[in-house]
Chains A and B, each alone.
Chain A
Amino acid sequence: MKDKDDKHAPKTEKILLADHRPALVQVQRRLMLRSALSLGALSMLSGCDLQDNDSVDKVLWAMSRWNDRVQALLFRSHKLAPTYAASQITHPFPFNAFYDEFNAPDIDGSDWKLEVSGLVSDKRSWTLERLRALPQAGQITRHICIEGWSAIGQWSGVPLRLFLQAVGADLTARYVGFKCADRYYSSLDMPTALHPQTILALDFGKEALPTQYGYPLKVRVPTKLGFKNPKHVVAIFVSNQNPGGYWEDQGYNWFSGI
């Protein structure tokens, strides 16, 4: 929430809200007159949107941290996300990002490298060939977006647990962070990173990931909301400091387990 330069979506919404401010005040007065005190008080709160760091926003951030803790307790490491039949796959699978589809980064797989850093013993970077040489796994699962829509897709690649073991990661560390070629970034709690269905996805369906779904590498986490599934990943790091995330730092709940 300190880094405020990437807030296109929220800013647009704020302008819209400001446009309706006079109407809001009118409604507020009307409600007050009708003695509907709680509703009147509520419409005064509608400006609290996690962006201003006022006292109400501080309470909302504190509640979000509380929700992180409760969700970490609810998470069961062996509970598998439901899987689906190939006939249930959503066609076409929706594109989703903080930019339009034509702005998705065009990456050349032959010179792409995956950087590894933080609490790991082997910090050599990885090529696609080396990732493909590791054992692969995959499943057909439901991607659930924070916006409410969902879609079923088939992803496969290297189980993240296996990759973390391969680079000698400290598996007792708290966080695994990801940086992407499209300026996106996100992070997972270690128990989720070690979940058997969490994979470094190289394939979508039977093909290598197309550009719009995150070529050449996407983190697929069926136990998290969609925005915790970064695309076009170029760096992975293990840390005990919460690395936050693109949307998480603006107010999306960090844990966002499902």
Chain B
Amino acid sequence: MSRPPVLHPLAVRIAHWLNAFAIACMISSGWGIYNASPLFPFKFASWMTLGGWLGGSIAWHFAAMWLLVANGLFYLLYGALSGHFRRHLLPVRAGEVWRDAGQALRLKLPHQPGVYNAVQKLLYWAVMLLGILVVLSGLALWKPVQLDWLADLFGGFDFARKVHFAAMAGIAAFVVVHLALVAIVPRTLIPMFTGGHDKKANAS
């Protein structure tokens, strides 16, 4: 008899933890850079920032971006080519999202290992799109002369900063929800290290 299917394939686990490290580096060093010239009337507490000073934050930001982009491309290619996205994140139907969101808000949504509810599917797609947006707006800020068409696409250098910030805020909000759900259902954490096995799928 074959072993039950793995909840999280090795490729997904590697991409997940590399991404967790890269995102944490990018956001915390990004907050350090933001503090040098804030867009809004607040700064991030210095303990929340990475790099110690502007030059350090920028060094972290521009080092981790290579990991973020390389790992992101790997994940998107793997997800599309292996059928991972199709199996786990599709389809997303409006009616199901509405139903599952209602259940989740009443804390009545059952958690089934290996099965994503419609809200989760939508959130994973949203955070992937935000990831693409944050990278493209970041490129527009990094190279507003060499890639001036990209900066123009984001409404110019100054508006691209706002887009970059908004995309970061969206990703940060996702991370907060993501970690809160792990805290509420801690047994979901171990399979993200070990792979885990979908015992229910095997039994049925």
Judge whether B59 and A253 touch: CB under 8 Å.
yes
Q: Which residues of B contact A64 (CB under 8 A)?
A: 59, 62-63
Q: Which residues of B contact A146 (CB under 8 A)?
A: 36, 54, 58
A63: interface (CB < 8 Å): yes
Stretch at the interface among A46-54, A102-110, A171-179, A205-213: A46-54
Give Cα distance in the complex from A34 to B179, angstroms.
Answer: 9
Judge whether A46 and B50 touch: CB under 8 Å.
yes
A82: interface (CB < 8 Å): yes
Min distance, Cβ B46 to any Cβ of chain A, angstroms: 6
Partner of A24, one of B47, B51, B53, B148: B47
B96: interface (CB < 8 Å): no
Give Cα distance in the complex from A252 to B33, angstroms.
Answer: 12
Q: Which residues of A contact B55 (CB under 8 A)?
A: 10, 49-50, 247, 250-252
Give Cα distance in the complex from A121 to B62, angstroms.
Answer: 39
Judge whether B157 and A60 touch: CB under 8 Å.
no
Judge whether A46 and B28 touch: CB under 8 Å.
yes
The contact string, 1 if C-beta is below 8 Å from chain A, for chain B 25-53, is 10010000110110100000111011111
Min distance, Cβ B16 to any Cβ of chain A, angstroms: 10
Q: Which residues of A contact B34 (CB under 8 A)?
A: 148
B17: interface (CB < 8 Å): yes
A133: interface (CB < 8 Å): no
Q: Which residues of B contact A66 (CB under 8 A)?
A: 66
B174: interface (CB < 8 Å): no
Judge whether A10 and B52 touch: CB under 8 Å.
yes
Judge whether B53 and A10 touch: CB under 8 Å.
yes
Partner of B36, one of A42, A81, A148: A148
Q: Which residues of B contact A258 (CB under 8 A)?
A: 142-146
Judge whether B145 and A20 touch: CB under 8 Å.
no
Partner of B49, one of A41, A46, A61, A148: A46
Q: Which residues of A contact B53 (CB under 8 A)?
A: 9-10, 13-14, 49
Partner of A150, one of B21, B39, B58, B158: B158
B161: interface (CB < 8 Å): yes
Given A42-B28, A258-B143, A258-B144, do A253 and B62 touch, yes or no (CB 8 Å)?
yes
Given A64-B63, A67-B62, do A147 and B37 touch, yes or no (CB 8 Å)?
yes
- Supplied contacts A49-B52, A50-B55, A147-B36, 20 more A-B pairs, CB within 8 Å: A9-B53, A9-B54, A10-B52, A10-B53, A13-B46, A17-B47, A20-B47, A23-B47, A27-B47, A42-B50, A46-B28, A46-B50, A47-B52, A49-B53, A50-B56, A60-B63, A145-B37, A223-B146, A257-B146, A258-B145
